[in-house]
Amino acid sequence: MESRYNVSWFVSTSMFTVFTVSSTSMFTVFTMTSSSMFAVFTVSSTSMFTVFIVFTISSNSMFIVFTVSSTSMFTVFTMFIKSRTSVFTVFTVSGTSMFTVFIVFTMSSTSMFTRFIVFTMSSTSMFTVFIVSSTSMFTVFTVFTVSSTSMFIDISQSKHAFGAVHSDCV
């Protein structure tokens, strides 16, 4: 067991950095930590799947999570970003030989409104945009579905546009 499992440490007190590597025949883990920002790097690999994870936090309250999971049947890509402006995005891609799904989830939160945007696309040249805009006065649910690659939708992110949609719904 010990021949297949190895742990290495590197500690630097001046920079507050910790370096850890754990390696076996099935997985490898890499971790680094510092005072102003730290990152976690994880790779898990077997004959059936591979997982790749990167987790980063910086001193400006922004962090990113990056994940890739791959098998012979599908691949999943996820990215999570959060900044000091309370805006975060989740990016996911799942692909197989039959279809591909592309999802973007964005939430922007202010004292006036909160917006959710979900974008899904398949390899059959059909995509759907799902928008939820919520304020203290109303909530709007909008769904767009397009089955043509030559078509695109430009959605205004202004508060008036969402208000107009709400007025039409009423």
Amino acid at 99: F
Mean pLDDT, residues 137-162 taken together: 44
Q: What are the φ/ψ torsions at residue 124 (nearest 5 degrees)? A: -85, 20
Q: Which region among 112-116, 123-127, 151-155 has the lowest average model confidence (pLDDT)?
A: 151-155
Question: Alpha-carbon distance 88 to 131, whole Å?
Answer: 15
Query: What's the token pair of residue 94?
Result: 């799942």
Mean pLDDT, residues 103-108 taken together: 46
Residue 57: partners with Cβ closer than 8 Å, 6 or more residues away: 37, 38, 39, 63
Write down the mean pLDDT value for the chain. 45
Give the predicted TM-score (pTM) of the model.
Answer: 0.24
- Look at 16 and 128; give whichever has higher pLDDT: 128
Mean pLDDT, residues 40-50 taken together: 48
Residue 61 banded pLDDT, cuts 50, 70, 90: very low
CB 106 within 8 A of CB 85: no
